[in-house]
Structure 1
Amino acid sequence: MLCQIAKNTYFSYRDKQERFTTNCSTETASENCIEESLLIKEEAFRIHKALHGLNEPYKEVFTLRVFGELSFAQIIQIFERIESWSRVTFHRAKRKVQDLLREE
């Protein structure tokens, strides 16, 4: 069972790394990479802009989870709450950000 957990953790980590890695070896790929980078930066800006409109603690929990890559256990240590609170707060914040992004 422990091997299965380790394997799944590794695959999750690898998938996450692949999302942020682009292949820019050829000239055409370089042009695509620039466009992809701009899109990623533009999307990140839109998310930050939407986050700016959120109230606390939604803004902080979302930022810690997504950009800080903290686990729910680490987030509850910061806020001194129960784990279900951090999960509910994160999912509500995520839903609010998605709604704000759709409105744009």
Structure 2
Amino acid sequence: MNTEPLNEQLETALRQLTSQGARISFTAIAAQLGIPRSSLYRNPVARELIHQRITETHADAEKNMAADVNRLRLLIDTLAARVRNHEERLRQLERRPHSTPQ
């Protein structure tokens, strides 16, 4: 098997899987290419390229997760402030004394 066409096909398969948001794995790529996984494992260039893309994907996922956590933290803080505001308004409407949360 000529490695040049396989590597070109591999690049195409990696782009397609990435654009679909699919998990990058030897199994997924082999299925996309219609070849056995062993063909990918035996090809050192293909193996290295797949490992590199898997590493990049994990790094991107961690960055996205950190951004999502920060966004959720901001939303929670905003929601907590609104709840405190509503509790204070209810207290005023019911003319209850202010009580501090325990």
TM bucket normalised to smaller: 0.3 to 0.5
TM-score by length of 2: 0.34
Q: Which structure is larger by alpha-carbon Rg, 1 or 2?
A: 2
Which gives a bigger RCO, structure 1 or 2 (Cα 8 Å, sep 6+)? 1
